[in-house]
Amino acid sequence: MDNKYRYFNRDISWLSFNYRVLLEAADPTVPIYDRINFIAIYSSNLEEYYKVRVAEHKAVARGGYSEDMTQDEARELIGRIADEVNRQLEDRIDIFQNSILPELKRNRIVFYQHRQEVDPDHNEFITNFFREEIFPYLQPVPVSRSRVKVFLRADRLYLCTRLRRKDNGVTEYYIMKLPYSKVPRFVELPQKDGNYYLMYMEDIIKLNIGLMFPGYEVDCSHCCKISRDADVMVDDAPSAEVMVEQLKKKVKKRKIGAVCRFVYDRHMPADFLNYLIDAFGINPDELVPGDKHLNLEDLAHLPNPNPDLKRGEPMPPMTLNYLNKKQSILKYVAKRDLLLHYPYHSFDHFIHFLYEAVHNPAVKEIMITQYRVAPHSEVINTLIAAAQNGKKVTVFVELKARFDEENNLATAELMQKAGIHIIYSIPGLKVHAKVALVLCREKDGKAKTSYAYISTGNFNEKTATVYSDSALFTSNPEIVDDLHQLFRVLGRELEAPSFKHLLVPRFNLVPQLLGLLEYEKQEALAGRPAHVVLKMNALQDKAMIDELYRASEAGVQIDLIVRGICCLIPNQPYSRNIRITRIVDGFLEHARVWYFYHGGEEKVFLGSPDWMRRNLYRRIEAITPVLDAKLKREMMDMLHIQLADNRKAVWVDEHLRNVYKQADKESEVRSQHAFYAYLKEKNR
């Protein structure tokens, strides 16, 4: 029998989210440099999307295996993706050219985009800068259909130039890599009449390229770049050592992976483009027309020469008054649970927690998971100090964290040299849990109060300043024991754990979720209040979506706060009681928090997984209930504030459109600012 339920396509849904990011760049109420940064984020997101998702679909379209789609379905999806991306890129160009550049100009920053705009007084500077700072690093290479093909590296910006010899009129083509590592992408020119001036490095090259080719006439120059398949699949290995060697080899091959996108300046003449396609062996379905300037993720580093031009209202991470440097976090958590919300709260509190563990003689062992850590991580340095101080330190390192494989390998080797016990990835599984455990013993060996930490975000000082996450510290002995069992599972010491509170995929997560949803459904059918609020990054698993559809049909009120992928379709007969909210603002919404009314007993959970198939069935995740009544209320208040957002929140409708919530100025709620104010008031 056909399933009456329907779902959004995962990839098209993700493009809807990324378009919501782009809409921030179009918002005139957002400070101009924040708008520019949203264009950079949008572009960076799209780059990774092509490297991973589109590359995967193209492999299927070429005959590769997929359990999700046929070869023809993959081809059809690639076409849909191309159509939507091209539509969005048109909007991106329009926003940048017709909104952002004029706004910069109003703020006395002139960002040259075309030859005609350049003030004659800057010509001498531009020529001298080219000769002295850029020219020494340029290496033009001839492009020919008949010769050996030039290899294009992924993510690098290239300038292609068509020339004609003056002596015989023969047309020749050259390509050169832009010297990013030697010269800034954005060059600041001398001020004039109180105005500041910026220019792309490639535009300076174009204005002076004739100096590189005496005896030639320059016809035109255009930029291009390629994206390569960057997904690294590590086969199951008989040992950690073999897995490490496999990963090292495959990460190196990422730079030479199959081409999945060839982006080019859309103003490039058709015959020029065809020549490059032929010379580089590019398939037509890999073509993506771009703007004159590519790699716009670099705009995140656009200089701001105007000291009067500020970014948005700052929200510096706050230090909790009752956890100042004189207060022991371990002693505090021994008495009551502690909840932190990054980046509203300072990540230094977690560093302080670890630092105390290093120097507390009762602490005998520290266990922690590593998924994505910051370069030169203070977390890693503190763990190394713990090992050097005689503590037993165990770190589970997930080698398969995409794009962080090399960093994870390097930090793992550093920790091993310091005497830390490293447990590498479990074959066939990815460990995505963000947990830490501090085990204490009395001098006579008897157990003492120990500490568990369960978070929605990584142990990463850098992302903790821009990702919105929640984390629970607790000394609850049952949660501590649950977490200890989980680490024993990771260490291959325990196969059948018995968790009292933690929810962990492959053991008890899905059955518990089904039970919680069934309870709400029965309450609704009995005419009693039933309400579910689910905050997460992605909702994709069809089995769980079906459960939400069935709960909606029974009358359960369901509010979803989903930042990214959401395959559930609202406003259908079977989803009439489901609302989807998406929030995009200065911080990246990253927390996973679940609320169930549960007959008035109200249950709140936080942890690491989204409701995607991989998280629910193929990963190790950790979710904890929030048991302290005050902290539970704090989490519920956070959800209520986010649902009330009518400034940066949109509804996702049945057509995947981002529909802004309407509000007058008096009743405006901007949830990130409102929650910061809420926490600040509590901290008083």
The catalytic residues are 432
Q: Are the C-beta atoms of residues 20 and 582 closer than 8 Å to each other?
A: yes
φ/ψ of 116, rounded to 5, equals -65, -20
Tell me the three-class secondary structure of 541-587, residue by residue. Answer: CHHHHHHHHHHHHHCCEEEEEECCCECECCCCHHHCCEEEEEECCCC
Q: How far is CA 559 from the centre of its chain?
A: 23
Token couple for 123 = 């010509």
* Three-class secondary structure of residue 422 per DSSP: strand
Identify whether 184 is preceded by a cis peptide bond (ω within 30 of 0).
no
Q: Residues, the chain, total?
A: 684
Q: Are the C-beta atoms of residues 581 and 589 closer than 8 Å to each other?
A: no
CA distance 218 to 618: 56
DSSP track, 207-239: HHGGGG-TTEEEEEEEEEEEEE----PPPP-SS
- Residue 318: Cβ within 10 Å count: 16
Which one-letter amino acid corresponds to residue 589?
A: E
CA distance 31 to 76: 39
CA distance 534 to 531: 10
CA distance 263 to 386: 48
- 573-to-8, 525, 562, 598 alpha-carbon distances in Å: 16, 17, 21, 24
φ/ψ of 72, rounded to 5, equals -65, -40
Token couple for 29 = 């109420």
- Residue 237: Cβ within 10 Å count: 16
Q: Kindly report each contact of residues 379-382 with a partner whose C-beta sits within 8 Å and lies 24 or more positions away, as own/partner.
A: 379/350, 379/351, 379/354, 379/459, 379/460, 379/461, 380/411, 380/414, 380/415, 382/351, 382/354, 382/355, 382/358
CA distance 552 to 318: 39
